[in-house]
Amino acid sequence: MELIYVDHAATTPVHPEVIEAMLPLMTGHFGNASSTHQAGREARAALNRSRDTIASFIGCKPSELVFTSGGTESDNSALFSVAEAYQSRGKHIITTEIEHHAVLHACEHLERMGYEVTYLPVDQRGQIRLSDLEAAIRPDTILISVMYGNNEVGTLQPIEAIGELARSRGIVFHSDAVQALGHVDIDLQRLPVDLMSFSAHKLGGPKGVGALYISKHVRFQPLLYGGTQERKRRAGTENTAGIAGFAKAVQIYSRSKYELQQNLEKLRQGFIQQLEERLGKEGFVVNGHPEERLAHIVNISFPGISTETMLMNLDLAGIAASSGSACTSGSLEVSHVLKAMQLPDEVTRSAIRFSFGGSNDFEQIVYVARQIETITGRLRNTV
């Protein structure tokens, strides 16, 4: 049975060109980028080219980009760094109830260290209210951390407006853009953002590689100590091959971004249309913002059928989807994102995240919708 993979928000298949770009740095040019001999210089040159490519894609200076092991380290580094570097000004942090656990759990740890954290609520479409953010700001607020696009429902936050408010109050602003990279235009020369987190494996790059944008105006305390790599901001030998793969993935997205986004939007809309034709508009619920959203993510509830039951049946049909964040997909708990959106229990307990990518086509989407029709028909008739 051919696997139909509609879980690209969890991870994406590594693009063949990415593998091709990585291989030379794992075989012939395997030197340590910190070594001064020829092999080291070759690795350093490849690292610099990769940094330039990614920095250009997101509109920042190469010196403002620090490579990490992924989105979790980038998020942790941003939060813990600001907390330490600015603690003389205050110990209050603002985030949202729907952040990735790499932010939420870091904030919980900061609370145990004596910091105060305000968790902003969201509306039923998954967006914060700017009035709530403004009301939450205190004289001792040192950091605001709000994700760009949600990894479970795809809702986009008003990042520019949040950043402008933060700047007007002299507060550092961090945004987790792991899910947004490649799917929305990011220009850090224009956006009022001080720190932004990225990960390679969400856009056809390898796992275990990420990046953190750090504005030159921000004080930064490293999370890791050891060597002087990454301008003393992230100790440890750089994953040169992985970083080169990250850069190649960015190049691929850059050259075909418009076509990819158009295709993803067509797949999303086509999928919803197929479900409407097969289940009726009352047979499912689409969660998230209808317009201000990422094109590749659609979160759908099938009231009356539990998330676990639907996922199991989809898996038996050769379809890989998820209940939301891959980091919690092994848990039977209801999504914290859907809880925060205050949706009815029948909606939160039956939600499935479908996320599309370049490996999907319309024929696959029709197959998934057909299988859902069969599954829902069988299960609802037996309830």
Residues annotated as catalytic are 327
Residue type, 110: L
DSSP annotation of 201: G
Q: Confirm if 140 and 89 have CB atoms less than 8 A apart.
A: yes
The tokens for 156 are: 């986009």
Q: Which SS3 state, helix, strand or coil, does residue 353 take?
A: strand
How far apart are alpha carbons 309 and 379 in whole angstroms? Answer: 9
Provide the angle, in degrees to the nearest 10, between the axes of the packed helices 240-279 and 362-382: 50
Instruction: Tell me the DSSP string of 57-102.
Output: HHT--GGGEEEESSHHHHHHHHHHHHHHHTTTT--EEEEETTS-HH
> What residues have CB less than 8 Å from 334, skipping those under 6 apart?
348, 349
Q: Confirm if 118 and 130 have CB atoms less than 8 A apart.
A: no
